[in-house]
Amino acid sequence: MAQLIDGKAIATRLRGRIAEQTAEFQRQTGVTPHLAAVLVGDDPASAVYVRSKQRACEHAGLRSTLHRLDAGVSQSELLTLVDQLNNDADVHGILVQLPLPRQIAETAVLDAVSPLKDVDCFHPENVGLLSQGRPRFQPCTPAGCQALLKESGIETAGAHVVVLGRSEIVGKPMALLMVQKGKTADATVTVCHSRTRNLSAITRQADILIAALGRPQFVTAEMVQPGVVVIDVGINRTADGALVGDVDFASVSAVARAITPVPGGVGPMTIAMLLQNTLTAARLQQSRR
């Protein structure tokens, strides 16, 4: 039976370290790192995510402010708010909760966030820095996956990492992180997606499989080799209301060496990385004053 990679416990430890670093930063500067979250509309899942992020900020000693906008808000109104937050010296990080309503172009909004306050690491400037191996911020979910591997003592140098999914939020930045030189990296990376041929033949080569497809229980035991390490980024709700990942946990955990659960795996780590990025943003902005 696979070792369970407990993201909740690991995230709790990391958040404790961040709280200590935040307290030290406050003692040195008198500044409290401040995250401004923007929530558009009344999507229940988005509201839950934002509340979780706010609570995590409070527990780590960071300040969090929520800006709620009606689902019918125009793109220009949202961009005006983002501009105000960009110019507010008291705000260090800006998080625009996705998805946004249809009338708003997500790319235009994410591009409008100041690169120095882009704690989600979505801005092209920050993605470019990441691709060159000199990141300003770490993309939250991929960095959380990487931290899970590090904290679990899983060797990545020379390992074949297969990433399922090529999204801008997880798949692509995950591959960028794992192919870099350095600790918990130095991997050989293959990115698979909906057009990949002979998918199972590739996933069975993985020493580490990172599933971020958004398809419930897609990865089965027949698709992995014995001893694989599985990081399940997916979170899907079934018809009966249960939360499941992109991996069929019951069958895959019987052959894997280690695996993350859903929930309680990657999710808590994403929030921990957001806190770290907000503290990093505060440090960067304070150093420029």
Provide CB contacts within 8 A for 155, sequence distance 6+.
Answer: none
Type of residue numbered 267 = G
Q: Which residue of the set 120, 232, 246, 248 is catalytic?
A: 120
Q: Is 181 a catalytic residue?
A: no
Catalytic residue among 21, 53, 146, 285: 53
Question: How many CB atoms sit inside 10 A of residue 154's CB?
Answer: 18
- Catalytic site includes residue 88: no
Among 15, 17, 59, which Cα is nearest to 274's?
15
The CA distance from 185 to 110, in Å, is 28
Q: How many C-beta neighbours within 10 Å does residue 194 have?
A: 10
Question: Among residues 21, 97, 217, 285, which one is catalytic?
Answer: 97
Query: For the chain, what is the radius of gyration of the CA atoms?
Result: 19
| Structural tokens at position 42 | 């009344």
Token digits of residue 274: 């957001």
Q: What count of other Cβ atoms lies within 10 Å of the Cβ of residue 174? A: 28
DSSP run (H or E) holding 127: helix 124-131
**Residue 181 to residue 242: CA distance in whole angstroms:** 39
**First and final C-alpha spacing in the chain:** 53
Q: Residue 275 is encoded by which pair of tokens?
A: 């806190």
Burial 226-259 (b: 16+ CB within 10 A, else e): eebbbbbbbbbeeeeeeebbbbbbebbbebbebb
| Torsion of the alpha carbons at 129, 127, 185 and 6, rounded to the nearest 10 | 130
* 240 classed as catalytic: no
Task: Give the residue numbers annotated as catalytic, written as ranges.
Answer: 53, 97, 120
